[in-house]
Chain A
Amino acid sequence: MFSKRDKLFFLSLLPLSISLLAVLVVSVTTIALRSLDALQHFGLALFASSIWNPEREVYGLLAPVIGSLTTSAIALLTALILSIPLAITIAEYLQGALKSVVSSIVELMGGMPTIVYAVWASQYLVPFLKQFAMEPLHSALPFIPLFSCKPVTGFSVFAAGVAIGISIVPYVTTLILEAYQSIPVMYREACYGIGATRYESIKILLSLARPAIIAALVLGFARALGETTIAVTTVGNSMYLSSCLFAPGYTVSALIASQFANAYLYQYAETVLYSSILVVVLIAIALSFYGSTTIVRWRLRVVV
């Protein structure tokens, strides 16, 4: 299956992959060890309340954990809505120079430091969303718990979710584009060979790529979980747990960014923060593993 040169190539990469894996294992172990104190002292009660009062050594991580999951879910939805049309536009409708310009822009956006998104989001996106999404949704559907509160500042779980979602669009788009463009030509020909229009072919080919697209979104979700700068500038940083998306909240990453510097002053603050990282990191690793293996398995089944 592999030639001798391929094997040599893989072998030469082995030390690198092993050291990357080692870094991961060491980091996770460190995080786990550091969170041990908190987990032993507070137990699972740590994740059952939402109080942050280091002076009295009272901690609860429910709000940030829920906040992380909710913002990431909104980010996923945002990326879903924007990335699939963007990838299809690039793959199917743009040609020549325009196609390379747009792909380059997407790549560029992906490489942009997230602080750029954070500034843009807190200055422009949040007020915009407040006026054109949150307020209308609240007026129209106030009986739905998610929309039940009037947005006050606009800085909220919802705003953070959309902002993070926009920041992962380039990443998710690139993954979807790669999958879509790796579909062998013979399946496109098969579509045309049964009289499918362009639109019908796109539908068939998208369904062919569905496992890879879902995996791309899962990877996007994992990345959104870890997003820090954008979260801390848009989520509103409130430990108050609300069922309403338009209320300020917290995410684990935002909590760490804003509390880590002073945590050493208190007995348990630091180890509690580590245990919140542990939860998010474990979820992110599991999702990334699932996402990447799904893409590989899909490629093996469909592409070769």
Chain B
Amino acid sequence: MFAVEMNNVSVYIGDRQILKEVTLRTPYNTVFVIMGPSGSGKTTLLRVINRLIDLVEGARVEGFVKVLNFDALHSDPYELRKYIGMVFQVPNPFPHLTIYENVAVAAKINGVAKSKRELDEVVKWALEKAMLWDEVKDRLYDHPHKLSGGQRQRLCLARALAMKPRLLLLDEPTANIDPVNARKLEEAIVSLKDEVTVVMVTHSPHQAARVADYVAVLYDGRVVEQGPAQQLFLRPSTEIAQKLLRGEI
């Protein structure tokens, strides 16, 4: 059983092909890392999983995508997204909501908390998991524009966690974060595995090595190599993967 299963998935935007016959499988309760150079289609791949690709004008998806128990391309996208949390490449906390409300809104929408007390607990739990609690516990009612870029990104992670998703899509969640906090966040991600399946994009081979159970390497819209992380890191079979792991592309 797989949390995400793609068979021969191609994505076109206009008449340009962005993803090319992508086939991959993400087992439940694992961290699945997608690597690849800039522009290789990583974000697009995540957006197919939760159908955010629908928002892209002129985008067309072909192939078969199974997400959790959904036939993703033929399901109601809103129904599908109830089970999938996403953290975007550029942090996008709601500017009109406080730090507390940003996290709480996700819990409320998904019926995670019934009382104010439960809500408080979920918010605290999510902020702790996202390694942000200590920095914001005294300013929960500030607005997110007062946070640093990295703090905002962690707020978005907390927001995604507060919905108690079954699948978590992370698009370079540590891109704006210092190494110390990035390491903490990695620990958090690994510790989430009991509850969720994580599909994560990263540019850092070291980070991938620390968190990944499975790795897929994307290059120009194609999966050029995928497999269990240890195997792939020890013996990358393609030149592209070797270069990528050495940080040469």
Contacts and interface: CB of A to CB of B under 8 A. Distances in A.
Contact of B85 (A195, A197, A207): A195
Given A193-B50, A197-B78, A186 B92 contact: yes
A2 to B, nearest CB: 23
B86 interface: yes
A90 B165 CA distance: 32
Contact of A208 (B82, B90, B94): B94
A195 B51 CA distance: 11
Nearest to B76: A197
A91 B110 CA distance: 25
Nearest to A185: B55
B55 A189 contact: yes
Contacts of B78: 196-198
Contacts of A185: 55
A210 B94 CA distance: 13
Contacts of A195: 81-85, 106, 109-110, 163, 165
Contacts of B159: 190, 194
B88 A200 contact: no
Contact of A188 (B55, B86, B109): B55
A44 interface: no
B76 to A, nearest CB: 9
B163 A210 contact: no
Nearest to A201: B78
Nearest to A184: B92
Interface residues of chain A: helix, strand, loop or mixed (majority): helix
A200 B82 CA distance: 12
A186 B171 CA distance: 13
A194 B92 contact: no
A16 to B, nearest CB: 34
Interface string B162-194: 110100010000000000000000000000000
Given A185-B55, A189-B52, A204-B105, A194 B85 contact: yes
Interface residues of A, number: 20
Interface in A254-304: 301-302
Given A186-B88, A204-B105, A194 B160 contact: yes
Nearest to A193: B86
Contact of B88 (A189, A197, A204, A301): A189
A187 interface: yes
Point out which of A189, A198, A208 has the most chain B C-beta atoms below 10 A from its C-beta.
A189
Contact of B95 (A189, A198, A302): A302
A189 B96 contact: no
Point out which of B52, B96, B106, B162 has the most chain A C-beta atoms below 10 A from its C-beta.
B96
A211 to B, nearest CB: 8
Contacts of A302: 95-96
A198 B79 CA distance: 10
A192 interface: yes
Interface of B: 50, 52, 55, 77-78, 81-88, 90, 92-96, 105-106, 109-110, 145, 156, 159-160, 162-163, 165, 169
19 contacts: A185-B55, A186-B90, A189-B52, A190-B88, A192-B50, A192-B52, A192-B77, A193-B50, A193-B81, A193-B87, A193-B88, A193-B169, A194-B86, A194-B159, A195-B82, A195-B84, A195-B165, A198-B78, A302-B95
